[in-house]
Structure 1
Amino acid sequence: MTIEGVSGRTSYLGTSLINIRTQLDTLTQQLASGRKSDTYSGLGMNSAFATNLRSQLSLLSGYQNTQSNVTTRINVANLSLQGLIKMRTEVQSAATGSSQVLNANGQTAGQQIGYASFTQAISMLNTQSADRYLFSGRSIDTPATAKADDILNGADGKDGLKAVIDDRLIADQGTGNMGRLETDATGSVVTVGEDFVDSPFGLKISRIATSIAGAVVTQPSVPAPGTPSSETIDLAAATPKEGDTVTFTFTLPDQTTETIQLTATSETPPPAGSFNFDASDPTVTAANMKAALDSSIQTLVKGPMVAASAMAAGENFFDDPPLRVAGGSPVSPTATALVDGSANTVQWYTGEKLANPDTDARGTAVAQVDGAVQVRYGATANESAFRNLLQNMAVYAAVTTTVDPNDPAGQNLANAQISALNERVNANLAVKAGATSVEDIEAQFAGSQAATKAASTRQAQTTSMAQTMLDQIEGIDDNEVAAKILALQTSLQASYQTTASLYQLNLLKFL
């Protein structure tokens, strides 16, 4: 052991003691803090390396905070997506097995389930995570949709879906419930035509076919400019017999098709869907066929076409901008166009509007979760998968059916409307190949979540290694420092004793 001493009363004596004391203070501070130094300069050559490690740890900490936020938001969004899938399944089941019994409001039990599911779906699409609406794109402080009741019934002087459905039905049914078709029997020729060129309303003729020998049919073709489309059947050379049929195919407002088949019969009066024929007089046969066709068209228009019209109205309402029957209120049964209805119709979607929601929605929320990894987890409620779900639920919940007590066939027509509505809702809600579904969006969110989790795992390992290296540079060995402190304390004590003795030394004591 070396004992510091002095050779005389010089400044060297004090400097040596101060040096030992400084070392002791430094080691004591290290033992208390667990660190070699409070400044980077105290780390010597390793200071630059320590700075880089701390910068890396700070960056990783920022990524981890982002990952935590992203994971929370995706988890919340996934709960909504799972709920939407459940609502869709419930409505499909209700439409498939729905009773046709109407309540006091003119709706079935299945439609009541549809209403409850629609309101829940709206609530799910207006889900928030903290103060952020998850299905509004970048409009994070704005709800994604209007309120369910406002969508159905209107608000602030603007019409809701129910009013749009009512208006569209008037325009689709037309005058006399003929579905905007005009029929004629001139001589031996029966003609069926549309009432206006390129009108979006009513039935559209598609095809005509017959098993009557000698009858000549003319299929609808591209008409001359300004001339509505038409088709004919000429019975001049026909030889009809019992059981022969004529089939007319029509396209309904929602682009589905229905057929009317008329059967030649000798029964008097002829049953529904039949016409009496006169083998010797084609003029009589043509007149009877026209009468039977008119009756069958009216049955179609007052039955299944009511549901088809409601579906078309739903498409108009959920479009951007919403489309309304031209001409204002009251709607004319001879209206010929749809116009922008933004001024008088509730806007159902209130979030950020994108040029193409189906391709751009995910990019409305992007997070950097690693140096080279970005995840996209944005969503907008007007993506086709969500819109299709809401649109069909809303139409199902909005349609009401009444039974005309003055019409002997009133109950049959009501049942036809309900059956057609149930069939369309079930078909439209089914997942279709090539179309984006809620499950597809859920899978995209799952991919972002998996990428975030993988980045978090990698960064946890990197953080552990970087922290270990930094601890080795900045940290201390407690045992080693304690041993040094004991050695310095012993040295300092001996130095103090020696120094004290030297300061008391005189010539007499020396001799």
Structure 2
Amino acid sequence: MTVSGVGFRTSFLSTRILDLQSQFDDLQAQLATGKKSDNYAGMGVNRGFAIALRAQISSIDSFADTMTNVTTRINVANAALTRISTIGTTVQGAATSSSTQITSNGQTIAQAQARSSLDEMLNLLNSRSGDRYLFSGRATDTAAVASTDDIMNGVGAQAGLKQLINERKQADVGTGTGRLTQATPTPTSISLTEDAGPFGLKLASVTSSAGSVTVSGPTGSPATESIDLGATNLNNGDTITFAFKLPDGSSENVQLTATTTAPPQTGQFLIGANSTATAANLNAALTTGVSNLANGALVAASAMKASSEFFSGNPVPRVTGPSFATATTQTPGTSANTLSWYTGETGTDSARGTATARIDDGISVQYGARANEQAFTNQLQTIAAMAAMSTVTGDPNANAQITGLYQRVSTKLLPQTGQQSVQDIAADLAGAQVSMKSAGDRQAQTKNTAQTMLQSIEGVTDAEVSAKLLAVQNSLNASYQTTAMLYQTTLLKYL
């Protein structure tokens, strides 16, 4: 009978013990970490799938971080847009109901409030989220707009809005007739001829309620219109209406009513002994009416036009002068002589496209904005005109100028059909938020599924590991006992 030595058996048992000890250590690590292994090699055949799942989860987390940043920026922009919209409503209400009483500085209280509103709106357009300017287009490190003081008063040789309004006023009012030439071709007729340039009052129409009156025009270039009373005298209450187009696109009428009551009131003319005498009285009344219009509502319309050109022009049209009162053309302003109120990035592409973010595979949102978008410039030019225009204390036409200004501001700040509004911009940003919300919901579900699958590959359960740990521990104890017994066995004991 062959007797094997214990050395071989104990060597085998020692290897087995080391293997069990390694298993025991691995199971203890699994119990502590909840992971099957601390490297992909220990995960078996699903290691490649686990790597792909982790990459997908990492991508989702990256998208989530992007959406968090973009949401913060949109929230800041929305807060600015909400306040900008409120400013427009407030100024519109003030123009509708405020007093036209002029203070010692040549402006009304409502105009002073408009200056404060303009200042606030410009500050809002310079809103930042972190180190990013939100209304500068792609120039995110540059403020979107210049300061209120610079815009109003200019910088050095660069003219500001007030200077442009003053130059335009001189060009539009001219010598006080709105650049119109009034004449009497015959004893019973009156003619009006407009200036050939872009300035002043422009003729729209002339009408009469009296059938005996002959009207013609406006025709020709420069346009001329005329009215001829003929041989038949007017009757009490007959009206002659002259309609004019103003620089800002608005219209005004000078309506004159024939009367037999002396002295005639404003807007009336005295019927004379014959049509020749009546025509002379009508001519004088028309001179007064045109002068009042030119020095009243035309001044307000001129300010609105100058402000519109300042905020919308690129380059800004400047009245060619001096002398501005006789100017007939405009010259493009330059960076040397005209301030640029918008200092952000300019472009012909969509403002929203100046800031984009990828929020999912193949899905991006656009949330950029420029302060020179139509919605902003329409409101800026209107509020700025109200804040910049001033009158002269004691000017008999001051009330008419302020009234004309208020009317135009009130109308311009109402929603305009076919024009972009602040609400339109807010709606665009809301669309980006909706897209991010949808993407976030999808990604949350995808991430939850991926994490569940990853846990099934990489993770372990405490119950499973504990059971294995107990089994290995029992095997290890048994191996230790067996090894100990073998080491104590001698030939004498064996026999």
**TM superposition score category, shorter chain reference:** over 0.9
User: What CA deviation, in whole Å up to 9, does each residue of 1:339-391 have, x standing for no partner?
Assistant: 211331111111111215xxx01111111222243221111111111111111
**Which amino acid in the other structure matches residue 74 of structure 2?**
I
- TM-superposed CA distance for 1:220, in Å, is 1.0
TM-score computed with the length of structure 2 as normaliser: 0.94
Which one is further off, 125-134 or 394-403? 394-403
The yes-or-no answer on 1:244 pairing with 2:238 is yes
Residue 261 of structure 1 deviates from its aligned partner by 1.4
> In 1, Cα distance between the equivalents of 2:359 and 2:411?
41
1:352 matched to 2:345: yes
Matching residue of 1:386: 376
Q: Pairwise mapping of residues 249-328 of structure 1 onto structure 2 (< 5 A)?
A: 249-278=243-272, 280=274, 282=276, 284-328=277-321
Distance (Å, rounded) in 2 between the aligned partners of 1:201 and 1:325:
12
Cα-to-partner distance string for 1:32-57 (whole Å, 9 max, x where unaligned): 22110112121112112211211110
Question: Is 1:78–1:442's contact at 8 Å kept on the other side of the alignment?
Answer: yes
Query: Aligned partners of 2:167 and 2:152: how far apart in 1?
Result: 14
Letter in 2 for 1:231: E
Structure 1 residue 267: Cα displacement: 4.3
Q: How far apart, CA to CA, are the structure 2 residues paired with 1:231 and 1:238?
A: 20
More deviation, 434-443/64-73: 434-443
Mark the runs of 5 or more structure 2 residues left unpaired by the alignment: none
Q: Residues 43, 83 of structure 1: CA spacing in aligned structure 2 closer, same or farther, 3 A cutoff?
A: same
Q: Is contact 1:251-1:257 (8 Å) kept?
A: yes
Shift of 1:494: 2.2
Distance 2:217 2:403 in 1: 30
Structure 2 vs 1, CA of residues 420 and 281 (structure 1 numbering), >3 Å: closer, same or farther?
closer
CA, structure 1 residues 428+69, in 2 after alignment: closer, same or farther (shift >3 Å)? same
Q: Which amino acid aligns with 1:150?
A: D
Q: Evaluate the alpha carbon distance shift between residue 418 and residue 73 of structure 1 in structure 2; reply closer, same or farther with a 3 A threshold.
A: same
Q: What SS class does the counterpart of residue 344 from structure 1 fall into?
A: coil
Q: Equivalent residue for 1:136?
A: 136
Q: 1:487 aligns with which of 452, 471, 476?
A: 471
The residue that corresponds to 2:485 in the other structure is: 501
CA contact 2:152–2:388 (8 Å) conserved in 1: yes
| Contact residue 240 and residue 279 of structure 1 kept, 8 A | no
Letter in 2 for 1:272: T
In the TM superposition, what whole-angstrom CA distance separates every residue of 1:309-365 from its partner, at most 9, and x where no partner exists? 10011111112324344334x442110112211331111111111215xxx011111
Letter in 2 for 1:249: A
Q: Distance in 2 between matches of 1:306 and 1:326?
A: 15
Please, which of 326, 329, 335 is the counterpart of residue 334 of structure 1? Answer: 326
Unaligned segments of structure 1, at least 5 residues: 405-409
CA deviation after TM superposition for structure 1 residue 11, in Å: 4.5
Deviation at 1:396, TM superposition (A): 0.8
2:60 is equivalent to residue 60 of structure 1: yes
| Partner Cα separation in structure 2 for residue 8 and residue 332 of structure 1 | 117
How do residues 358-437 of structure 1 correspond to structure 2 at under 5 angstroms?
Answer: 360-404=350-394, 410-411=395-396, 413-437=397-421
Q: Distance in 1 between matches of 2:56 and 2:339?
A: 52
Give the match's secondary structure for 1:219.
strand
Superposition CA RMSD, Å: 2.0
Deviates more, 1:42-51 or 1:238-247: 238-247
Contact 1:213 1:239 in 2 (8 A): no
CA distance in 2, matches of 1:155, 1:101: 31
Measure the CA separation in 1 of the matches of 2:159 and 2:147: 13
CA 1:424/1:323 → structure 2, altered by over 3 Å: closer, same or farther?
Answer: same
CA distance in 1, matches of 2:74, 2:316: 34
Question: 2: CA distance between counterparts of 1:280 and 1:400?
Answer: 44
Q: Write the distance in 2 (CA, Å) between the matches of 1:213 and 1:29.
A: 109
Question: d(CA) in 1 for partners of 2:119 and 2:226?
Answer: 48
The alpha-carbon deviation at position 285 of structure 1 amounts to 3.6
Opposite residue 303 of structure 2, the aligned amino acid is A
Tell me whether 236-245 or 92-101 shows the greater mean CA deviation. Answer: 236-245
Alignment of 1:432-443 (within 5 A): 432-443=416-427
Contact 2:6 2:487 in 1 (8 A): no
Structure 1 residue 149, shift from structure 2 partner: 1.4
Question: Could you say what secondary structure the match of 2:370 adopts?
Answer: coil
Q: Quick check: 2:215–2:228 contact (8 Å CA) kept in 1?
A: yes
Deviation by residue 1:446-501 (Cα, 9 ceiling, x = unmatched): 22112212221222222122112211211111122122222222222221232233
Q: Could you tell me how far apart the structure 1 residues matched to 2:450 and 2:317 are?
A: 64
What residue in structure 2 maps to residue 160 of structure 1? 160
Quickly say closer, same or farther: Cα 1:26–1:182, change in 2 above 3 A: same
Tell me what 1:151 maps to.
151
% identical aligned pairs: 48
Q: Which residue of 2 is the match for residue 102 of structure 1?
A: 102
1:271, distance to aligned residue in structure 2 (A): 3.4
Structure 2 residue aligned with 1:84: 84
